[in-house]
Structure 1
């Protein structure tokens, strides 16, 4: 965590997940579950892998129990298939959503892969639109989208709602950030990472939106880019030359962000790893 900070969003050590105090409830946050990824790899690339659907579902349920969470918030891309889910992917989603909602309510922030799943499971999920929203904050408009304080949530594939600038911290997925680490003898390994740092409001919202700066309450919020929950879903290399970010506002909106391994190890400025 940034030195001296008291984070509103605290990663679960060793896991691609975090907990947040939303005032009246405690939430478990994850991003990019990509349920059905094995089915996708089969029809997209001809790659045959054994399904880890049961493992993904059990990990989520175990994390809910371990953290004492009252709600699960998925920061986009709950599903892998962009179209309406069907076949094995739908079966995985039905089992996963059923297992979670038997325990706690579930909120889905709509990602670029979620149009079909948000519609198919609308009665089981609380859905926040693609440009995000603020949860656990102060009084907002009738849609709960302009509250003050709280946790801003978005997926990251599109320009976010300027109301997120009024949050204490903004959480996003989409990037699946990871690093390649090398040792002195040339060996290497791949690690998923968190990216965290103070957000630059001027580059976080669409440049055509003149109200972006006005939405900031004092100091700009911290931006937390979540690692992918699904380790098979690829990602953005943050320390490999030529790799570009996916979000329209990154890396500009994170001018001084640090990278952290899942075990909490701080790697320093993600641009210098």
Structure 2
């Protein structure tokens, strides 16, 4: 997947090869982006569906911390659904998150976009699990914020105007996947990235965006849908016609998006895969 090439843009998005994560660079700051961590998902499977799956919390933590060490970001950005339970987290889920944040380097600032599964995360996360006064854990609303030229949101609701005015917009929530078939009828499903220019059509009718200049005359920003970090959660099979998208502005807002596998393989326009 190529970095952003919007004219005048100083924001670059570069996926980490083989991982559901990307590095965003805007000026001097490097941010590691991940989405849909869904801590405690195995506990939810056991409680809600009676499916006994051993916890992969330690593996999730190890993979994320290895990514932090490998990429050396200034900031970790979670694009929503750090938690899985919609209400207050239970013991297993909260314990997983406490250990995770106790392990995060003290110099690493963390920004968490509040997803639809994140409950009241802002009421306890900063006070209970920040490992050192040197780093900050900030929770922002699901509609997102702009970090210089990078707009971040979760995707379950319409983005803030400042997000839509950014050079590059990154979101989660969708858990995009593609179903691939071979010549003898076998198939497999893999996590995927979606990337393309934002389409103005679904945004123009909303009054909160009346001052967003590119909707009338300008180059639309790049819109990147980030695959789920948690490999157990389901998702939208974006190249299967009878599967609907979850976000209120997808797929109309990114109609010509291309799909990429985690290893960087370009599949072409997602609807043609």
Q: TM-score, normalised by structure 2?
A: 0.89
Could you report, residue by residue, the CA deviation over 1:189-227 in whole angstroms, capped at 9, with x for unpaired residues? 110000000002342477243525436693111000000
C-alpha contact 2:85 2:119 (8 A) present in aligned 1: no
Match of 2:187 in 1: 188
Check if 1:108 corresponds to 2:107. no
Name the stretch that deviates more: 22-31 or 254-263. Answer: 22-31
C-alpha contact 1:177 1:193 (8 A) present in aligned 2: yes
Alignment of 1:82-93 (within 5 A): 82-93=86-97
Check if 1:24 corresponds to 2:36. no
Could you report, residue by residue, the CA deviation over 1:214-262 in whole angstroms, capped at 9, with x for unpaired residues? 3669311100000000011110111123100000000000021000000
Q: 1-side partners of 2:204 and 2:85: how far apart? A: 28
Offset, 1:53: 0.5
Q: 1-side partners of 2:193 and 2:255: how far apart? A: 15
| 2:146 equivalent among 134, 138, 159 | 134
Name the stretch that deviates more: 122-131 or 90-99. Answer: 122-131
Match of 1:163 in 2: 162
Offset, 1:162: 1.4
Q: 1-side partners of 2:214 and 2:119: how far apart? A: 28
Q: 2-side partners of 1:206 and 1:37: how far apart? A: 37
C-alpha contact 1:27 1:69 (8 A) present in aligned 2: yes
Name the stretch that deviates more: 219-228 or 103-112. Answer: 103-112
Match of 1:144 in 2: none
C-alpha contact 1:75 1:155 (8 A) present in aligned 2: yes
Q: 2-side partners of 1:86 and 1:129: how far apart? A: 22
Residue ranges of structure 1 left out of the alignment (5+ in a row):
138-149
Check if 1:244 corresponds to 2:251. no
Offset, 1:4: 8.7
Structure 1 pair 47–2 and aligned structure 2 pair: CA distance change class (3 A): same
Offset, 1:69: 0.9
| Matched position secondary structure for 1:88 | helix
Structure 1 pair 57–204 and aligned structure 2 pair: CA distance change class (3 A): farther
Check if 1:120 corresponds to 2:119. no
Q: 2-side partners of 1:248 and 1:234: how far apart? A: 18
Aligned length, in residue pairs: 260
Structure 1 pair 53–233 and aligned structure 2 pair: CA distance change class (3 A): same
C-alpha contact 2:204 2:210 (8 A) present in aligned 1: no
CA RMSD, Structure 1 to Structure 2 (Å): 2.0
Structure 1 pair 43–224 and aligned structure 2 pair: CA distance change class (3 A): same
Match of 1:142 in 2: none
| 1:65 equivalent among 49, 63, 69 | 69
Structure 1 pair 184–22 and aligned structure 2 pair: CA distance change class (3 A): same
Offset, 1:109: 0.6
Structure 1 pair 206–114 and aligned structure 2 pair: CA distance change class (3 A): farther
Q: 1-side partners of 2:241 and 2:68: how far apart? A: 37
Q: 2-side partners of 1:152 and 1:22: how far apart? A: 11
Name the stretch that deviates more: 203-212 or 42-51. Answer: 203-212
Q: 1-side partners of 2:208 and 2:220: how far apart? A: 17
C-alpha contact 2:201 2:252 (8 A) present in aligned 1: no
